[in-house]
Each structure stands twice: as structure tokens, then as C-alpha cells.
Amino acid sequence: MYRSFADDTAIVGCIRSGQEDEYRELIKDFVTWCDLNHLLLNTTKTREMVVVVDFRRPRPHPEPVIIKGDCVEVVHTYKYLGVQLDDKLDWTANTDALCRKGQSRLYFLRRLASFNICKKLLQIFYQSVVASALLYAVVVLAGGSLKKKDAARLDKLVRKAGSVVGTELDSLTSVAERRTLNRLLSIIDNPSHPLHSAISRQRSSFSDRLLSLSCSSQTD
């Protein structure tokens, strides 16, 4: 007999105009699925976070989620897959965590440099140990609502690392743009990718370039 665990399971539902039926039905279906597949939900570790997309409207206060008699705790921030998510779509809490992790790893980079290690090995250490933590999920951050002051804090640590390595290192924006472009090209070259058709429809019929999505603001 053995017991297995499945972490990082998330349920995402959309609540429009205070209508929570679809959201609560998703939760109900998931609990039923777990029962049918002999999976035990740990409700003490389950959290709920309500993210407001339309800030013009008053913040909703949905009824608490009850799973098997236990009330699910509502939180304002939650760490999911290594990223600190915020119910206000603010990345400050995540930036704080990245800076703390980056500072601690930058210390080891300085220690390594004190032994007169060659620049090439310092660059390898930076990319594998420091940058992997400091620029984690950078495509999501730079493409989202990351504040300029938070981006500046991360870039400051990159510059500090560059002074230790002895060369100019790629900034937050340049890394994000390069990774985004590589990801986009891989999707375009892969017809079986779920987003391939959606991106292909954005191609211009004249120049074959990708067109920007048209956006408009709605007012009540």
C-alpha cells in the first residue's frame, strides 16, 4: 500500500456581476472528481484568492468556500509555482522575494570572485545560480503590471552582479524580450501548439508580420 500526493493544483473561475454559480460549480466538480479518483483534499492547506480585474467596480465579497464542512481561508497573496501572486495584480511582494533570494546568491558570487576565479566561470555561476533566481518568471513580470520601481530594484541587482563578474549583464527588459520572442517563434513553428492558430491569425495579409491586438477601454 502506498500514498501519493499532488501539489500545486489550482481552480480558476470567473465571477461576473456577482454571479458565483459557475465558480462554485467548478469547485464542486473538482471535489467530486477527487472523491471518484480516491484523492484526499487537504482543506487545511487550501487557500482562496479573489483577484479584481475591473478596479472601477467595488471589491466583491463572495461567500466563503466550504469543502467537506471546512471553510477555506481567503488570502491576499499566495505563492504558486514559485511566484508570489497578489489579489491586486501587484508584483511588489514577488519582487521582494526575488530581491531577497538574489541578494543571498549574490553573496556567494562575491565570495567566488574573491578566489580570483576566471570571468567565464563567474558568468556560468551567475547564469545558473543568481540569474535563475533573480529573473525567474521574468516574461510574466515584464509583460504584466510590474512597477518601474520594482523593475529598477531587480536591474540594480543585475548591475551589482555585473560589477562582480566584470562585464555588463543583460537587463530585466532585454532578457524578457528575448525569452518572449523565442517562445513566440517556437509556437509559430509548432502547428500542434494550442496557441498556434490564434497567433497565426494575427499575421498581416500584406507583410506577414504579426499585428498588435486591438484593445479598447469600456466605460459604464
210: helix, strand or coil: strand
Q: Is the pLDDT of residue 218 over 60?
A: no
- Encode pLDDT of 165-178 as tens digits: 999 999 998 999 89
220 falls in which pLDDT band (50, 70, 90)?
very low
Q: Which three cell numbers stand for residue 115?
A: 578566489
129 falls in which pLDDT band (50, 70, 90)?
very high
pLDDT of the residue at 55 = 60
| Strands (DSSP E) found in 19-65 | 47-48
What is the b/e burial string over 101-140, where b = at least 16 CB atoms within 10 angstroms of the residue's CB?
A: bbeebbeebeebbeeeeeeeebbebbeeebbebbbbbbbe
2 falls in which pLDDT band (50, 70, 90)?
very low
- Encode pLDDT of 155-164 as tens digits: 999 999 999 9
Residue 53 phi/psi, 5-degree rounding, is: -95, -40
pLDDT of the residue at 128 = 94
Find the mean pLDDT for residues 135-149: 84
Q: Which residues contact 97 (CB under 8 A, 6 or more apart)?
A: 79, 84
- Whether this model's pTM surpasses 0.85: no
- Encode pLDDT of 74-120 as tens digits: 898 888 888 898 888 888 999 999 999 999 999 999 999 999 989 99
pLDDT of the residue at 184 = 87
Name the pairing type of β-strands 47-48 and 73-74: parallel
Q: Which three cell numbers stand for residue 170?
A: 543583460
Burial class of 185 by CB neighbour count within 10 A (0 to 12, 13 to 18, 19+): exposed
Q: Which three cell numbers stand for residue 34?
A: 477527487
216 falls in which pLDDT band (50, 70, 90)?
low
